[in-house]
Amino acid sequence: MDEQIGAVMQQLATLNEQVRNGEVYQSLGTRLGKVMDGIHRQRRTPVTLPDDDDGVKDILTELTRQLGENVPVTLSREKLGILVDHLSSTDPQIRYNGINFSVYDALQQDALDSAQMKYLFERLTQQDDLFDHILEPANAAVFGRSARLALLAVLLHFMDPINARDVDLRPIVLLTATYICLETDTRGFVNHQGWAHAYTAITDLLAVLAGNSDLPRADKLFLLVTLMERLKRLTTPLIYGENDRMATYLVELANRHPLYETTFLMTLKQWRQQVAYKRRPDTIAGWNQFFNRKRLVDALRLHQDLPAKLRDYLNSTIDFLG
């Protein structure tokens, strides 16, 4: 793994521990922002893609047949591994319509045994795959990164309580926070390659973790603030429904406990102050930041279950820049 990514993970682990111990709260956003602002982006390098003629289509056919017959999936670890490898495929028929939906159906039908579930979990959380080319300009590796994150969210969602208790969520929290800090590819649909949708995958995983009763509040708060700090800094648009998905996650989390509501309100106020301080943007990046925030705020306002304090605050603020 890249040395810089390892350093970011260590910084986040320290911050997460401080939040857990009650040593850091109000300054969390500022500290996370410094971590993100200190990340040095790298030049583009060639992305190695899987060979879609290596037998993966036959494996998908076998998996589809077993699911159609409603019998347990008997794919070996090797074949499951090939499916995971091809989450990096740029062919949407293989990656998205094939592997993504087939594995989802297998999980929904409870067709995978505990050993298969464990193997998938181990493969989907491999750091080298999750962070593949993530420090470089937008590239084809985003399909593999986001597909793994999205499938990890699905796997955690369908994991039965007994197996779920055996999963140490602390590394997942750290992996998720690191991914959020590093990922800047906001593309939605890409012609001929299908959905990238990294920020939809991020939000799906955050929503699953937010609903996990075994995860401490400190970790959920940590992830909430990490997301908000990254959103402030994105300089390309989120325009493929990500804001609606994020608004749902944020409102549901805010309704779970007053701590989340207070923290979310604090991040919104800080964001508004920063927008007002910058005044009128004069770059595309600046306007993208402005409208990313506006789209999220608009999506929040549409939620009838938005907590009163948040609604009152959003209704009291007006942006004059647009």
Measure the CA–CA gap between 148 and 86, rounded to whole angstroms.
10
Q: Which two tokens stand for residue 266?
A: 């604090």
- Confidence grade of residue 276 (pLDDT, cut at 50, 70, 90): confident
Contact predicate 95/86, CB 8 Å: yes
Contact predicate 54/148, CB 8 Å: no
- Confidence grade of residue 318 (pLDDT, cut at 50, 70, 90): low
- Confidence grade of residue 246 (pLDDT, cut at 50, 70, 90): very high
Mean pLDDT, to the nearest integer, of 170-179? 98
Ranges of each domain in the chain? 43-215
Measure the CA–CA gap between 292 and 153, rounded to whole angstroms.
24
Contact predicate 247/296, CB 8 Å: yes
CB count within 10 Å of CB 304 equals: 6
pTM for the model stands at 0.96
- What local confidence, expressed as pLDDT, does residue 322 receive? 41
Residue percentage of the chain with pLDDT more than 90:
91
Cα atoms in the Cβ-side hemisphere of radius 13 Å centred on 263: 30
Does the pLDDT value for residue 103 go beyond 70?
A: yes
In tens, the pLDDT along 121-162 reads 999 999 999 999 999 999 999 999 999 999 999 999 998 765
Q: Which residues contact 273 (CB under 8 A, 6 or more apart)?
A: none
Q: Which helix (H) or strand (E) holds 244?
A: helix 242-254
In tens, the pLDDT along 177-190 reads 999 999 999 999 99
Q: Which two tokens stand for residue 140?
A: 């084809």
In tens, the pLDDT along 48-67 reads 999 999 999 999 999 999 99
